[in-house]
Every structure is written in structure tokens, then in C-alpha cells.
Structure 1
């Protein structure tokens, strides 16, 4: 769960997680044994941060009652095991099809992704294609450096300072073929990985080959 959420707010979110249909302020106050005003204050903070929202107004024999429900952000604030599950799934796939086929599969994924970006490269010369690729990689989270980086202006080199699947690549280095295939397809030039963070380097360095 998000670290900045207070303990009482965490309890409130857990309560709503167990009651997906939503709860009114009185129900939450009773369940947490705190005042109605305290619940309202916590709700105001959590609603402002997007973790919950007001649901439908339920009409009863007395006054109308507003229920509060978790948003997608609220649900996603609870722990997820995406990396663990990805590791489990990829490990099983690699065992099932073998390392070489797994490597080809990662290349295919990279090439498939490149197709959605091809329109951004149409008619552009090599230097503009490289700049466009850097923008795409930064959008994906690779962090390709800044203007103060001496290597950032080298037209034959691309450096990425963040491996977006670092843990996975440490276990299955065939995953690096995804990056290579993506770059090769978009630049329409062969690309070689000469330094790799998953193997202990400070950055992933890709060399654009003049072929």
C-alpha cells in the first residue's frame, strides 16, 4: 500500500476493500470505533487523493445515505505482485520452449511494439529517427540521459540509465532482445547491446551499427 497513507486511513481503505458495494460514514465510524467527524476528515483526504469516491445516494426511511467506494487507484494502492508473477510466468515459458525460442519470442515482442510507433519515423533522416527513439524510450521509462551527458550526442550510441525490467533481465537475459528488436525496427539499422545493467554495468549501452 502507498507509504504516505496514514494507519487510520489504511484501515478505512481496507474496510472498503472488504465491502466493494461501499459503506456510509456511520458504518465506517462504527466499524473503526471512531467519531463520525474523524471519518469525514479521512474521507476528504482520501477522496482528494483519488483513492475513494462518493457512490450513489441511497434513499431510506430516514435521511438519504451516501456510500463511499474505492476507486481503481484505491484498489491499486494495495500490494501487487506483478514482478513476482512475471518472473514465474517467464520462467515457465522459457522452460517450456527453450532459451533460443524464448529469445526469438522477446524479439518478436519488441518488433510488434515498434509497429505502433512506425508512423513517427516516416520520412525522417537517421539523426531525427534517433531523437524520436530517445523520446519513445524516455516515455517507456528507460531514462536515456540529458544534454549534459557527453554520450547523448553521439549519433552511434544510445545509453539507457534505467532498465525497466531489471530484475527480470537479471534472471533471463534473453529479455534484452526486446530492446534490441524495438530499436532495430524503428531505426532500420542493426543495434548491438555492448553494456548491460543486468550484468553489472552502470547503464545499458546500445551501439547503432552502420549496416
Structure 2
């Protein structure tokens, strides 16, 4: 599992982002007013995790001079704002094809994503498939847990956040993506009984007995 980047390591990435041709350890140490040793210690994680890489090595009268640059993965650590663009596309798509076909489109997208992950579920019983699904949803950014109704014994997946909450508030059809995705991987019917986009404090997906 990737390690959390510290504030100091984020400063290093920011300097490398601002200097596209790269910087050496001495330049970074001077810019941040810390020692070369401290920079090298931070580099251990940043390089091992793929956030930075060595781009050049120059021979000098003293020690070799290594130049480091930020990688695409490192650039990915900085904030992005996709919501407005996604909303623009979804607005146009729903207007173009209509609400019913838009919902069906979201369902197909959910199944398509599930199919790309199918091998991770091969040969697993329901409990194993549920645990694998929880892992995948956590990796996607959901805060999820499995809940069991004490009266009925029915399992539910409970999400305390929605990774596209603002979009789902305006386009409730997006929820069909989640339901189709879960149903396809678990091979069970999924009932979306509670929805944050409709004002609930969490999203709840009850796992049925049949597909």
C-alpha cells in the first residue's frame, strides 16, 4: 500500500513541478533550507513509490551530480478539478439520448468496469467476493463497511461517502452505475435502499439472494 506523503515531501514535489528540467539534491536542500541528508531521506520514499526519478547524472570534480524530475505519478498528487467537465459531458449526454437511455448507459458502464475486474472474483464464494468488492471500492475512494441486519441477517454494503456526490445530486442515474457494478461482481441482486444524493447520511446497498 502506498505510503502517505508528508508536507515536506509534498514541498519537494512542488519544487520539481515548478522546475520541469529537474533539480539536484543541493538545489532542493537550499530552497527548503534543510540538509542534504534530510532531502536524501525523503527521496527514499519518493523514488521507491515512483513519484520522482533520476533524469541525468553529471560528473563533477567532486561527487556525481544527479538531477531528479517529477513523474506523472508525482504530478497526480496535486489537486484536480474534473467535476465541472464531467457535469458538462453528462448534461449533454442526457439531453442527447434521454433519461431512460442515460440510465441504461450508466448500467452498461458499471458492468463494463466489473468485467475488467472479473478475474479477481473467479472461484470465490460470496463472502470472498464481498470482501474483494469492499477492497476495490476502498481503493476507488469509498469509505465502506459490511453491515448485517440482526433481524433478517441480510448483508448490506454501507458507504459513508460518495466519490461523485455533487454529480450524483444532479444526475441520480449515476447510482445505476454503482448498482450494476456491484450486482455484476457479486452475482446478486442489489437494492439501493439509502442514498446520500437524496439526503441520506450514507448510501446503503442490500445484497439480495438472487441475481
TM-score (norm 2): 0.71
SS in 1 for 2:157: strand
**Contact kept? 2:107, 2:180, Cα under 8 Å:** yes
Residue 180 (structure 1) aligns with? 179
Residue 201 (structure 2) aligns with? 202
SS in 2 for 1:78: coil
Larger Rg belongs to: 1
Q: Structure 1, residues 66-111: CA drift from partner, whole Å, max 9, x if none?
A: 2122234432232222344333333333333332222111100111
Q: 1:71 to 1:154 in 2, by over 3 A?
A: farther
**Contact kept? 1:129, 1:186, Cα under 8 Å:** no
Q: Distance in 2 between matches of 1:195 and 1:119?
A: 29
Select 1:161's aligned residue among 159, 162, 165: 159
**Contact kept? 2:145, 2:157, Cα under 8 Å:** yes
Residue 56 (structure 1) aligns with? 56
Residue 140 (structure 1) aligns with? 137
C-alpha RMSD of matched pairs (Å): 3.5
Q: Distance in 1 between matches of 2:195 and 2:116?
A: 26
**Contact kept? 1:161, 1:202, Cα under 8 Å:** no
Residue 40 (structure 1) aligns with? 36
Structure 1 segments unaligned to the other structure (5+ residues): none
Work out whether 1:129 is the aligned partner of 2:131: no
Residue 109 (structure 2) aligns with? 109
**Contact kept? 1:152, 1:158, Cα under 8 Å:** no
Q: 1:115 to 1:122 in 2, by over 3 A?
A: same
**Contact kept? 2:129, 2:185, Cα under 8 Å:** no
Aligned-residue offset at 1:56: 2.5
Structure 2 segments unaligned to the other structure (5+ residues): none
Aligned-residue offset at 1:196: 1.1
Q: Give the paired residue count.
A: 198
Q: Distance in 2 between matches of 1:182 and 1:153?
A: 27
**Contact kept? 2:133, 2:182, Cα under 8 Å:** no
Q: Distance in 2 between matches of 1:187 and 1:18?
A: 45
TM-score (norm 1): 0.71
**Contact kept? 1:192, 1:206, Cα under 8 Å:** yes
